[in-house]
Amino acid sequence: MNAPLTAEQLEALRRLDACTLANAIETFQRRLRNEGFADSSIRCLFPDLPPMVGYAATVTIRGSEPPVAGDAYFDRTDWWDYIASVPAPRVVVVQDVATHPGLGSLVGAVHMNILRALHCGGVVTNGSVRDIPAAGNCGFHLFAGSVSVSHAYVHIIEIGAPVDVGRLKVRSGDLLHGDLHGVQSIPLEIAAQVPPVAARIVAHEQALIKLCQSPEFSIEKLRAAVAKDRP
């Protein structure tokens, strides 16, 4: 496993918007361009928050059906120890594998505060979340497939295993970034190299935009600008 990034390297990634980050990652050709990000089924509930960056702690849940015996499932707490074992900052990624994903929510006000105490910056799930104002007031990121009023019969069935959330495959310890555009993974082996590449892309794009807004714009100049200094 790659060594965790420094605080400065993480902050440099946090300053990037998701679209610029995705463009920069593409230049390294480490994965196909239709991989590495969650699809539109995963919604950003707080688009005004600054980007989220953290290492993934993965959890699998189920909760749409009651247990065969009794009125509740066993309430596990060992996942807190697992989360604490993942490098900080952390992002909890929850795959709901129930027959009706999102009917009940694992994360509400109480669990959100527990996760904040464990240095988690947010949750990403194909299931649901609840107690939205409590998370928003704390600046805690929520990326979810839906919102629910209830926890129903939600219970944890697996900790630390690979998960699939909105077609984004996530392994424990993967580095994630999320903002109003969505969530994506950052290959750890290139993470430290991404910000300077992103800066060159931004400079190139700003030059093109400036030309398009100029009274001296022409298609010929645009073609020349696109071909010049391509990052």
CB 51 within 8 A of CB 179: yes
Looking at every residue in the chain, the average pLDDT score rounds to: 93
Tens digit of each residue's pLDDT (9 = 90 or more) over 98-126: 989 999 999 999 999 999 999 999 999 99
Where does the pLDDT of residue 64 fall: very low under 50, low under 70, confident under 90, or very high at 90 and above? Answer: confident
Where does the pLDDT of residue 159 fall: very low under 50, low under 70, confident under 90, or very high at 90 and above? Answer: very high
- DSSP for 42-85 reads SEES-TTSPPEEEEEEEEEEE-SS--SSSSS-----HHHHHHHH
CB 79 within 8 A of CB 116: no
Sign of the CA dihedral with 64 first, then 67, 71, and 72 last: negative
- Whether pTM exceeds 0.85: yes
What span, in angstroms and rounded, lies between the C-alpha atoms of 60 and 166?
14
Q: Is residue 202 scored above 90 in pLDDT?
A: yes
CB 53 within 8 A of CB 13: yes
